[in-house]
Structure 1
Amino acid sequence: MPKFGIHLICLCLLLSSLNQLNAQTWFITPAVGYAWGAFSPPLGSNNINGNLENNNTTLGKGLYADLVVGYMFNRHLGVMLGGSFLFGEEVQVSRTEVGDELVNLTSQANKFQLVPALIISTGGERTRLYSRVGLVFPVTGRTLGKSQVITSGVETLTELKINGGFSVGFHGGLGVAVATSEHISLIAEIQLINLNIFRNKAEVQELSINGQDVLPGLNTFQREIDYKSEISPDDNIETNPNVNLDQPRDALTEATPFSSLGINIGVMFRLNSPQE
């Protein structure tokens, strides 16, 4: 190959590399969205006078408010760290009706989670498609479980506050960004979250029988629960002859599904020009 041709190819590669470096940019994106519980085993089931059905939902159902900070290494590859808050809807866990007897269980969750991810983009000037994939780390939150039991004309209402332990999930998203100016783009995306949170602690917040508050009469063993991955006869359980009623009772932990499929809309603010 003539030396001129080799020099021309090298020059083109150099200019392409400089263009990619010039595309480096920071961005911040506030967004809101709504998610439906999905991709998990049934949360519970209903039995209405012998008619059975599953409750195919999760506690990940509800409104989301997100704030994302990210960095694009070039037009096609970047990273992000998002903070996401779930304002969960109250969902039906199970309901059993047999004659005048009723057992109704519902649950509602609020939580804040961190979402680090890798971004891959088509890199268009005005309209670009992108995907992101990463992890989900719940940081803080609480779940309220409510039960209504009516038997022999006696109504018992209970509210249980549940805190989760350390958990890790996965998330992915597909979206489109449309630039309205050099520094502002509108985004719309579909987001999938796969997450289960194991119970850590729980405490009875309310307990009433036929409208009368009976919570003050509970001891610590009746009011608080410590969840564990394993239970032995020596743990603080009812069958232990040395059970301590002044300590929380021990119980086997269980996973609560928070998986969801949702849509988000937001505004991406580019903090510096890609030509800078």
Structure 2
Amino acid sequence: MITIFSTSTFFGQQKMYVSLNGSYNFNGMSNDYGANNYTDISSVTSTEEKVNVSLGKGINIGAAFGYKFHKNIGAELGISYLLGSKTSWEKKYFGGDYYNENVSSKMLQVKPTLVLSTSFEKINPYAKLGAIIGSGSITENIDRSDIGAGDVYNDKYVKDGGLAFGYAASLGTTYKINTKFSLFAEINLNSLAYKPTKGTKTVSTKNGVDNLSSLLISDKEFEYVDTYQYGSTIPYNPDAPRKELTTTFEYSSIGLTIGLLYHF
């Protein structure tokens, strides 16, 4: 995670600090999203390639407040907003049909953190360990065609609800510029998992014409559950969200942080 104007440790007699941050997260663990590129080379030959989906990868912006209880021990509360990078894949069929999909994520994250640091005059190594609590959403866009019928479709789904939980750890060092400002650099590891509770189809078009309002509730809304029953003896309710099994999505990331902080 590369962070500009982010958080760091504290030194000297000053006890409080604030910071602003902007960061970029690199992939730490990919999701088994079932994503793959597929191409028909001919009527009898095709190629297929797995696509790794990383929802924790992307830009972060935020702020933090820190307090030093002791010259070597402090606590920090950070808030950041993830603007996840988009991952895309496509399928090209021999008859001319296509299926293109992309997925990305957004998430507000709160990070309470314990900070352990040295107390040298200029350069101070430090370590951080804390929790991550997030609230976010996953967006899927799908473009597809039916060449035989001469139709093209566009659908958009948003999965949200529930909270994400995980932990964060960092190793870094600060460099004192003056009594008010410090530069820092750190290596970060974020481990985070998210289980949304519901999903909604927010866009549905056919040949450029919106048909979302004509869809049944069960066709455009769903709930994530751990178990459900279905069958000929169980009544189907088209006016209620359908059930789908709960899925856990990985947001883990790793990277390098650099930035600037202000001491009170």
Quote the residue 2:111 is aligned against.
Answer: 115
The amino acid across from 2:145 in the alignment is I
| Structure (1/2) with the larger helix percentage | 1
Are 2:253 and 1:260 aligned?
Answer: yes
Which residue does 1:9 correspond to in 2? none
- CA deviation after TM superposition for structure 1 residue 105, in Å: 1.7
Which of 51, 59, 76 is residue 72 of structure 2 equivalent to?
Answer: 76
- The Cα shift of 1:240 comes to 6.3
Say whether residues 1:136 and 2:127 are aligned partners. Answer: no
**What is the CA distance between 1:157 and its match in structure 2?**
0.7
In structure 1, how many angstroms separate the alpha carbons of the residues matched to 2:252 and 2:146? 34
Whole-angstrom CA distance in 2 between matches of 1:157 and 1:240: 34
| TM-score normalised by the chain length of structure 2 | 0.84
Gaps of 5+ in 1: 1-21, 272-276
Aligned partners of 2:132, 2:232: CA distance in 1, in Å? Answer: 38
Give how far 1:190 is off: 2.5
TM-score by length of 1: 0.81
**Unmatched runs of 5 consecutive residues or more in structure 2:** 1-11, 41-45
Corresponding residue number in structure 2 for 1:160: 157
30, 38, 44: which one aligns with 1:47: 38
The question of 1:124 aligning with 2:107 is answered: no
| Aligned 1:5-154 pairs, distance under 5 A | 23=13, 25-43=15-33, 44-49=35-40, 50-92=46-88, 94-99=89-94, 100-138=96-134, 140-152=135-147, 153-154=150-151
Work out the percentage of aligned pairs sharing the same amino acid.
25
Higher alpha-carbon Rg:
1
Task: Describe the SS at the equivalent of 1:129.
Answer: strand
Q: Distance in 2 between matches of 1:159 and 1:107?
A: 10
Cα separation, partners in 2 of 1:156 and 1:240, compared to 1, 3 Å: farther
Counterpart of 1:14? none
2:29–2:250: 8 Å Cα contact kept in structure 1?
no
Deviation at 1:241, TM superposition (A): 4.2
Corresponding pairs, count: 245
Determine the C-alpha separation between the residues in 2 that align with 1:188 and 1:231.
49
1:165-207 superposed Cα distances (whole Å, 9 cap, x missing partner): 2231121122221111112112222222111211211111110
C-alpha RMSD of matched pairs (Å): 2.2
